[in-house]
Amino acid sequence: MEEVDDSSTGLVYRASDVSQYIDYRGRRFRQRFYTGFDAHCGETARWFVLTASNEAIAKGLDVIQKFNELARYLRRHYGRFEYCSVRHRQGDKRRINLHVVYFGSFIDQQVIEDWWWKNYASHRSNMGKVYNVKRQAWYLSGYLSGGGFERYHFSGGWVFTGWIGFSQWIKHEFGDYPKREMLVGLGKMSKAEREEHTWFGLYLWERKHVAGNKARYGRG
Per-residue pLDDT in tens (0 to 9) along the chain, 220 residues = 333 333 333 334 344 444 555 678 899 999 999 999 999 999 999 999 999 988 898 888 999 999 999 999 999 999 999 999 999 988 776 788 999 999 999 999 999 999 999 999 998 878 999 999 999 999 999 999 878 899 999 999 999 999 999 999 999 999 999 999 999 999 999 999 999 999 999 999 988 876 655 555 555 4
Alpha helices in the chain (DSSP H): 15-39, 54-59, 63-78, 109-120, 133-142, 163-174, 180-187, 191-196, 198-217
Burial, 150: exposed, middle or buried (Cβ in 10 Å; 0-12, 13-18, 19+)? middle
The confidence score (pLDDT) of residue 32 equals: 94
**What does the pLDDT read at residue 23?**
79
For each of the domains in the chain, give its residue range(s) and CATH number, in order of start. Answer: 43-154 (3.30.70.1910)
27 SS3 class: helix
Q: Maximum CA pair distance of the chain? A: 55
Reported as half-sphere exposure (CB side, CA atoms, 13 A), residue 26 has a value of 19
Question: What is the pLDDT, as a whole number, of residue 148?
Answer: 87
Which residue, 96, 104, 106, is CA-closest to 155?
104
Are 113 and 48 in contact by the 8 Å Cβ rule? The answer is no
Q: Rounded to two decimals, what is the model's pTM?
A: 0.82
3-6/11-14 β-pairing: antiparallel
